[in-house]
Homo-oligomer: A and B are copies of this chain.
Amino acid sequence: MNGTCRLKAALATELPRIEAALAEAVASLPPPVIPVARHILEAGGKRLRPLLTLTFARLFDPAGADCRRLAITLELLHAATLLHDDVLDNALTRRNRAAAHTVFDAAAVILGGDALLSHANAIVAEYGDTRLTRCFSEATSRTAAGEILEIAFRGRTDISTEDYEEMARGKTAWLIRAACLMGALAAGAGDDGLRAAADYGENLGMAFQMVDDALDFAPAEITGKPTGGDVREGKFTPPLRLYRESLDAAERAAFDAAFAGGMMGEAEAAVIAERIRRAGYDNLTRLDAQRCLDRALAALELLPDGPQRSLLREICAAVRERKK
């Protein structure tokens, strides 16, 4: 199989099983939060994390036991994060702008997130392997730390590239790293294999975030969501850094003030997005992402060849080509 064929075939086989395991997990939650959990999980998602766990498990142990339940735990953690994010964004929006918000049951959303995270924890604990537990709990801590940094950085343009990377590593990459590592751990991989799985995952995750940052400036017609959301939300991503560096002193001061005050509207964000695309700053960020993907691909070279490794290569290509 060539191109993205293997990925499509893997998704066709695995997705229904992953969805079934997710539905089963949701059904076992306390009844009052089931609708909110279902809502966030049925909103879709690429199920990249469970697919990575399953692929690494099979790569190291093709005849190994089914680990679908383990594979969904990081997706449950990811969903919990999204739920808490919803409340956070709501809170921040409420603080920065006067506009009242639509009806939003914060209680169900916060507790729904807590329940999803607790349940994911309990599933990992079932496996009775302390390395899995440690890996999962580290992913939880790192993700929380990354999100905390993201909020602390909001509206600031004095964030160094290293700060950004630390935030992105926590917020996005660590969870994807853990998805790969947990599959390898469950399959009994040796130290070299574990290291390669972690390297692949961390670099894939960093690339995923950078492509996301670039896509934020794509036209709304292509992505289906308003362009420049990150500018409006005060997130100083790589394309925005490049844009800001291109401004003269007066423009930069005006940009900083509007950005810090959360005063960018959709129209201003659209203008900035167009300038970013015209100057190619989004594509420069995609080039940085490619450098991460190269490291991910290099990590794969240390792993046994076969269909799983090819699939992991295709996943890199899919992240690179992502259009929305």
Contact surface of A with B, Cβ cutoff 8 Å: 30-33, 84, 87-88, 91-92, 95, 105-108, 110-111, 114-115, 117-119, 121-122, 124-126, 128-130, 133-134, 137-138, 140-141, 143-145, 147-149, 151-152
- Identical copies in the complex: 2
Q: Are B111 and A138 in contact (CB under 8 A)?
A: no
Which 10 pairs between the two chains have the least Cβ-Cβ distance?
A91-B106, A118-B141, A121-B137, A30-B145, A32-B152, A118-B140, A128-B130, A125-B134, A30-B148, A114-B144
Q: Are B144 and A32 in contact (CB under 8 A)?
A: no
Q: Are A88 and B115 in contact (CB under 8 A)?
A: no
What residues of B have a CB within 8 angstroms of the CB of A88 in the complex?
A: 106-107, 110-111
- Given the known inter-chain contacts A106-B87, A125-B130, A130-B129, please indicate yes or no for A111 contacting B144, CB distance below 8 A: yes
Complex Cα distance, B110 from A32, in Å, reads 20
A145: min CB distance to chain B, Å: 4
Complex Cα distance, B108 from A151, in Å, reads 8
Q: Are A30 and B149 in contact (CB under 8 A)?
A: yes
A322: min CB distance to chain B, Å: 28
Task: Identify 17 new A-B residue pairs, CB closer than 8 A, beyond the known A30-B149, A32-B149.
Answer: A30-B148, A31-B152, A87-B87, A87-B106, A88-B110, A88-B111, A92-B107, A95-B105, A111-B147, A111-B151, A115-B141, A115-B145, A119-B141, A125-B130, A125-B134, A129-B130, A130-B130
Closest to A141 in B: B118
Task: Please list 6 pairs of residues, one from A and one from B, whose beta carbons are closer than 8 Å in the complex, sorted by A's number.
Answer: A32-B148, A91-B105, A92-B107, A114-B117, A119-B141, A125-B137
What residues of B have a CB within 8 angstroms of the CB of A95 in the complex?
A: 105
What residues of B have a CB within 8 angstroms of the CB of A115 in the complex?
A: 141, 144-145, 148
What residues of B have a CB within 8 angstroms of the CB of A111 in the complex?
A: 84, 88, 144, 147-148, 151
A83: min CB distance to chain B, Å: 10
Complex Cα distance, B135 from A181, in Å, reads 24
